[in-house]
Every structure is written in C-alpha cells, then in structure tokens.
Amino acid sequence: MPKQRLYLLLLAAIQFVHVVDFLVIAPLGPQLMRLFELTAEQFSYVFSAYTYSAGAMSLAAAFFLDRFDRKTALLVSFCGLIVGTALCGLADSFALLLVARVVAGLFGGLINALIYAIVGDMFGEAQRGRAMGTIMAAFSAASVAGVPLGLALADWQGWAAPFLVVAGLGVVCAGAAALLLPPLRAHLHDRAAQPRRNPFEVLAQAASNPSERAALGLMLLIMLASFAVIPYISPYLVFNVGVSEKQLAYVYLLGGLATLGTSPLVGRLADRRGKTRVFGWMAVASGLVFVALTTLPPVPVVVALGVTTLFFITVSGRAVPAMALITGAVPAARRGGFMSLSSSVQQLTAGTAALVTGQLVQSHADGHLTGYPLAGGLAVVATVLALLVVRRVQPAG
C-alpha cells in the first residue's frame, strides 16, 4: 500500500539519522585518538558511553513503552537524540564528549526498539522480512552517504562538524514524521483487552517463554560478534593495514552501496526460503569474514576494501532475518516493551563487547594495534552459538 511505503520511508529516514550518529564515531576514531591523545582503552569508553546509557534506558523503557502511542514515543526519543548529537559536536574535551554520548545514548537506544515495534505492528509475518530489509537499508544508506560525507566534513571543518550537521538533518526528519505519521495506537487496544500486568511481568514473561528467551539470546550473540570487531576496524585499517584516513570513506561508501542492494534482497529471500535458514547462510559467511578482517596484513587498498565490503554484506545480511525473527517472537500487545528489552540487550552487549575488545587490543607508540585477532576469535565463537540458538526462536501464537 502507498501509505505503508511512505511510513516505512519515514521510519527509514529516522533510522538513517540514528545510525549515522552511532556509526560516525568509529571512523573518527583515529582523529579522536590523536587529537584527544586517547589510548585504545579510552576510545572504547567513548564508544561504550553511548551503548551503556542506551541499554540502561531501554531496560527501563521495557516497563512502560507499550502504554504510549508509538508515534509520540518515537518523536520524543528522536528529539532527545538530536539534542545529544548536537552536544557531541559542541564538546571540547574528553570528559564532555563522554557526557554528550551518554545523553545521545539515553534516547537513541529507544529509537531502535520503537522502529522495530512499529514495523512489527504494521506488517504481518509474510511481509515482515521485506520491511525489515528496508529498515536495514537505512544502515546501508548511512554508510553510503552519511559516514563518507561525515568524514569529508570532518576533514574540511573538523571532527565536530558531522555531529552538528546530523543534528540539523534530524530536525527536518522529526518535522516530517510529526506531520505525516499517523497515531500508532493499535497495540493499546490489544493491551486494554488483557488483564493489567505488573511492569516486571515484561521480564518474567520473556524469561519464562522459551522462544522469547531464545530471541534475546540471539540478539546478545549477534551483537557480541559484531561489536567485538566493529569499534577498531578504522584504527586497525589505518595503523596496521596501511589505509589512509581519507581512504576510510571508501570503506563505508562501498560497503554501504553493496548492502543497499543486498539487505532488501536478503529480506525477500528470508520471506521465501525461511528466516532461520537464511540467517544460517549469512552467519557462516560472516564468521569467515571476521577471521579475514581481524588478521588482515598490510595489503593494497583494493584488497582491504574487498574484505570490508564483505564484512558489511554479511553482518547486515544476517541482521535482516534475525530482526524479523525477534520481532515476530512476541505478540503485538507486548511488542514495544519486549523490543525495548531487546534493545537494552543489544546496546549493553555492544558496549561490553567494545570494552572487552579494548582490553584485548593494545595500541603502541606508533599507533600499531596488537590483539585484534583475539577479537575476531571471540566473534566467531559468538556466531557459532547464534547458529544453535536461532532454531529456538518461533513466531508468537
């Protein structure tokens, strides 16, 4: 339906802003480490400040998110993210940057949960994979346009410029969503027909239901695998492989262009061939790429770009069927709270993985990193466990 496509486009635009804000910190790593004189461990704090605050807020929101119109909740969260992003651009010290990332994370963590809950409400099981593929394509678009342009802005006007521009773009998207998105209250009617529950029953229900337990476990494992590797891709490419800081833009441009086409394709394939099966294919491929990327020696730039592009394709490709499975594991009346709980697991795991990698990876005086292959090994172990857990995730009755 045309209206559904419009709503999906608006949600993808909000996700685009959210993802650029979250992603751009990683490729700015070499600049931040140099300008603020940060060690690899200190940079992991900058990355984790966002994810831990997002995880804490998402956990709290699991108790109340299903009580509100999803449109209202999304707009409030998005406006908070815009403020946090602007504060990042205004920070002039390591401490202030940490505080700004905490503010951005408090609101950014809710956006994922709300967008996935809205998609789960709007689209049935037969179309959910394709819809999730469209939302995941926002990640690709952020990589194609947002991150490379952000790096170009940082090179031109300084590292703070990308955050200020993203905040401005967020204002435009928030206005469009306020005008065009309809009220999203269908889940409130489903909730009204059920007995009133204690908020802690959100946790109790997830803990007692095997499929919901498995869905949260799947989220934990795919995030652990991804973010054991992601925070140090840019520093490793620059200091170990020989990619220049200016060439980092091509990593995200090519990876994003590839996944812009493959994410919707994987979504359609998941609807036709089965989400669990397609997840398995993409997970195995991602495990191989984890090993290749984290052990990459100095190579020509074209080889490095080939490996990083495969990384983008496989990691985003496995996320599409995984998110379709996770959103379908819970009834609509509880979907917002559950997805907020899932988002909490997602963010807390990402932050923990980054901190663990910060202990495994050591930076030397010349910038050279050691220990990155250990992070790749951790990602492979988490991926193997995810292949075992995914078969236990079943659609809600």
Q: What is the pLDDT of residues 66-81, one digit of tens each?
A: 777 888 889 999 999 9
What is the total residue count of the chain? 397
DSSP, collapsed to helix, strand or coil, labels residue 140 as helix
Instruction: Kindly indicate the confidence band of residue 185, based on its pLDDT and cuts at 50, 70 and 90.
Output: confident
| pLDDT above 50 for 192 | no
Which tops the pLDDT comparison, 347 or 180? 180
Phi and psi dihedrals of 362, rounded to 5?
Answer: -115, 135
List the structure tokens of 294.
């984290």
| pLDDT above 70 for 140 | no
Q: Domains (ranges, CATH) in the chain?
A: 2-392 (1.20.1250.20)
| pLDDT above 90 for 355 | no
**116 close to 327: Cβ distance less than 8 angstroms:** yes
List the structure tokens of 329.
């594991």
Lowest model confidence (mean pLDDT) among 172-186, 223-237, 338-352: 338-352
Q: At what angle do helices 372-389 and 275-294 cross, to 10 degrees?
A: 170
Mean pLDDT, range 273-278, rounded to an integer: 93
pLDDT for 301-339, tens place per residue? 999 999 999 999 999 899 889 988 998 888 877 776 787
CA 299 to chain CA centroid, nearest Å: 29
Which tops the pLDDT comparison, 333 or 274? 274
pLDDT value, residue 180: 87
pLDDT value, residue 281: 96
Name the nearest CA neighbour of 256 among 369, 141, 103.
141
pLDDT value, residue 193: 47
Beta bridge partners of 363: 369
pLDDT value, residue 217: 95
Lowest model confidence (mean pLDDT) among 140-149, 255-264, 347-356: 140-149
| pLDDT above 80 for 239 | yes
> What predicted TM-score, i.e. pTM, was given to this entire model?
0.71
Instruction: Identify the residue whose tokens are 């009755």.
Output: 397
Amino acid found at 193: A
**58 close to 202: Cβ distance less than 8 angstroms:** no
Mean pLDDT, range 230-256, rounded to an integer: 87
CA 369 to chain CA centroid, nearest Å: 25
Specify whether the backbone of 380 is left (phi greater than 0), alpha (psi in -120 to 50) or beta: alpha
The C-alpha angle with vertex 186 and arms to 323 and 333, in degrees rounded to 5, equals 55
Task: Give alpha helix (H) positions in the chain.
Answer: 2-23, 29-35, 40-61, 70-90, 94-122, 125-141, 147-157, 161-180, 186-192, 201-208, 210-227, 233-236, 248-273, 275-294, 301-327, 335-360, 372-389
| pLDDT above 60 for 100 | yes
The contacts of residue 300 (CB under 8 Å, 6+ apart) are: none
Mean pLDDT, range 238-265, rounded to an integer: 85
CA 46 to chain CA centroid, nearest Å: 16
* Count of CB atoms situated within 10 Å of the CB of 93: 9
List the structure tokens of 59.
């956990």
Mean pLDDT, range 38-45, rounded to an integer: 77
| pLDDT above 50 for 5 | yes
Instruction: Kindly indicate the confidence band of residue 262, based on its pLDDT and cuts at 50, 70 and 90.
Output: confident
Q: At what angle do helices 248-273 and 147-157 cross, to 10 degrees?
A: 160
List the structure tokens of 172.
């435009």
Q: What distances in angstroms separate CA 375 from CA 38, 225, 340, one per listed residue?
A: 20, 9, 27
DSSP, collapsed to helix, strand or coil, labels residue 362 as strand
List the structure tokens of 232.
């140090």
* Pairwise CA distance, residues 240 & 224, whole Å: 23
pLDDT value, residue 280: 95
pLDDT value, residue 195: 46
Mean pLDDT: which of 31-45, 65-79, 126-140, 183-197 is highest? 65-79
* Count of CB atoms situated within 10 Å of the CB of 299: 14
